[in-house]
Amino acid sequence: MAGTETGATAVIRGARDAGIEVCFANPGTSEMHFVSALDQVPGIRAVLGLHETVCTGAADGYGRMAGKPAMALLHLGPGLANGLANLHNARRARTPTLALVGDMATWHQPADAVLAMDIDSLARTVSEEVYRAGAGGEDFRRLAERAAEARGVTTLVVPHDVSWTRFVRDLAAAMRAASRGRLGIYCGGKALIDAEGALRLLGQIAAASGADLLCENSFARVDRGHGLPKFRRVPYFPQEASAALGKYETLVLVDARRPVANFGYEGGPSQLVTQSEEAVWEIDGDAHIGTVLKLLGMELQAGRIVPFKNCGGVFAGTSRPLLPTGRLTAAAMCATIAALQPEGAIVVDEALTSGTAYWEASSGCPQFSHLTLTGGAIGAGIPMAVGAAMACPARRVINIQADGSGLYSAQGLWTQAREKLNVLTIVCANRTYAILKLELAKQRIAPSNGPAARSLTDLGHPNIDWVALAAGYGVPAVQAGSCEELARQIEVGLARDGPMVIEALL
């Protein structure tokens, strides 16, 4: 995370600056930011104990011999309770000890969750001083220093959300300070899944801050469609991707790695983010994304944003492409699929070059989930569709499948037939490895149309018969050579039970 410290990092840095060199830890969910901070702040050795009484007893022994405090990192009230006996011994020995205890998020405390306890009262039975870090912007570092300087046991209680509060406030300030149109929120992973209203909140944050929403090119899953935020998909090729990201003076990465080029091209970039460290903010996947967004939304007053009223076009409206007619092209295929896909569809997209137009064509469809090839290892589409259909049997799965990639795992059609899965596979039969032809042209390799280049990028001579291939695996299949025929067959495939393959002759 760029910018100023999180609360957890400030506490760990303060403890180190006060002379603490070892942390005996048995952490849990509410202490994960401290685990991360121990990696970010060098100088404190982390030692795992399999029970809290080991951690507190070790801190006592260390303090008696070293003459300075160790830290015991404990999980909530039950963790403190488990370590209480040896903290009692440390108190009687007047051993300098810092007990660092996590607590429920401040806003979650009224819910009286399963592990909630009165930590402060428990800590007072063994502590000379008990400090509680609040959300009011205290000097976390100084809190840790005071605790480390005390004689005897000192307990510092840090609620889960306070671990990152400082970061959220400074992030909100940086977002407000960014010039209009120069703030980008680049998302991946959990940030692209509409769990517990997270995507609506993300859209409100983007609207409140004037940010553009972007997503990884090779995303695992994006929940998309009417009523959900519209993301700009970062281009595939590195020069275009670098230009798309480079226009922002401030970038916020939400559960996304810093993007890099898939390949190193001659004269091309390796790192796609070129902003200074101070201009790049990261909310990593170890954080509870929904909680961080909730806090950020509060700071930015994003709740005042009403989708479709004052959201600046962040949310997708209702729109479908008109059904095209005539000759079947890749763009027409994408438009036809988007025009007919049902609400709740799962679209497994390994269309590569033929599916380029699908992203825009489907932006206003009824809500659906969009899955793509993430690692570049082709052949994922057909088996991924199997897994998606097994996971969500009530939802229709549409696999937009490049023909060359599909040959890596065509056996998955047999599993679809055997399990009677509702998967409609649309094979983009352009009889070529089009991506390789693009690479030849992109890298200006000559000759790019010689006999070897033609042979190694061509899937004809003979043409692969996907209808016969699918039938051999027990899946009914048809060919479609026009937009009208493709539309008819998609309607048939979506209405029937079990799998079906349409070979779209592009």
CATH code at position 257: 3.40.50.1220
Residue 436 is assigned to a structural domain of this protein: yes
Cβ–Cβ < 8 Å for 252, 184: yes
Whole-angstrom distance, CA of residue 207 vs CA of residue 313: 8
Residue 321 DSSP one-character state: P
Residue 166 is assigned to a structural domain of this protein: no
Query: Strand pairing partners for 479?
Result: 503
Whole-angstrom distance, CA of residue 97 vs CA of residue 358: 60
Whole-angstrom distance, CA of residue 473 vs CA of residue 470: 5
Domain co-membership, 86 together with 201: no
Whole-angstrom distance, CA of residue 83 vs CA of residue 101: 11
Give the end of a domain, one of 161, 187, 207. Answer: 161
**What number of other Cβ atoms are within 10 A of residue 160's Cβ?**
25
Domain co-membership, 150 together with 183: no
Among 99-108, 182-191, 202-211, 291-300, the range scoring the smallest mean pLDDT is 291-300
Task: Locate the DSSP E strands across 289-345.
Answer: none
Domain co-membership, 155 together with 184: no
Query: Strand pairing partners for 71?
Result: 23, 98
Strand, helix or coil for residue 410: coil
Residue-level pLDDT at 448: 64
Strand, helix or coil for residue 393: coil
Domain co-membership, 135 together with 236: no
Domain co-membership, 300 together with 190: yes
Residue-level pLDDT at 285: 63
Domain co-membership, 194 together with 133: no
Strand, helix or coil for residue 195: coil
Domain co-membership, 205 together with 337: no
| Averaged pLDDT, 347-369 | 95
Q: How confident is the model at residue 264 (pLDDT cuts 50, 70, 90)?
A: confident
Residue 498 is assigned to a structural domain of this protein: yes
Residue 318 is assigned to a structural domain of this protein: no
Domain co-membership, 459 together with 345: yes
Residue 339 has pLDDT above 90, yes or no: yes
Alpha helices in 150-226 (DSSP H): 162-177, 198-209
Domain co-membership, 334 together with 477: yes
CATH code at position 376: 3.40.50.970
Per-residue pLDDT reduced to its tens digit, 96-138: 999 999 999 887 889 999 999 999 999 999 999 998 886 444 5
Per-residue pLDDT reduced to its tens digit, 426-460: 999 987 766 676 666 667 676 667 777 667 767 77
Contact partners, residue 221, CB within 8 Å, separation at least 6? 192, 193, 369, 370, 371
Residue 489 is assigned to a structural domain of this protein: yes
Residues spanned by the domain of 151: 7-161
Domain co-membership, 204 together with 251: yes
Residue 170 is assigned to a structural domain of this protein: no
Per-residue pLDDT reduced to its tens digit, 286-334: 556 776 788 789 889 998 888 878 787 899 999 999 999 999 999 999 9
Counting the structural domains of the chain, the total is 3
Residue 193 has pLDDT above 70, yes or no: yes
Domain co-membership, 47 together with 100: yes
Q: What is each CA distance from 429 to 88, 111, 354, 425, in whole angstroms?
A: 74, 56, 9, 12
Strand, helix or coil for residue 142: helix
The encoded tokens of residue 504 equal: 């779209």
**pTM for the complete prediction?**
0.76
15 phi/psi in degrees, rounded to 5:
-65, -45
Whole-angstrom distance, CA of residue 401 vs CA of residue 390: 19
Task: Return the H-helix or E-strand segment holding 151.
Answer: none
The encoded tokens of residue 124 equal: 């007072």
Residue 18 is assigned to a structural domain of this protein: yes
Residue 435 is assigned to a structural domain of this protein: yes
Residue-level pLDDT at 494: 98
Q: CA torsion sign, 405 to 407 to 409 to 410?
A: positive
**What number of other Cβ atoms are within 10 A of residue 114's Cβ?**
7
Domain co-membership, 477 together with 344: yes
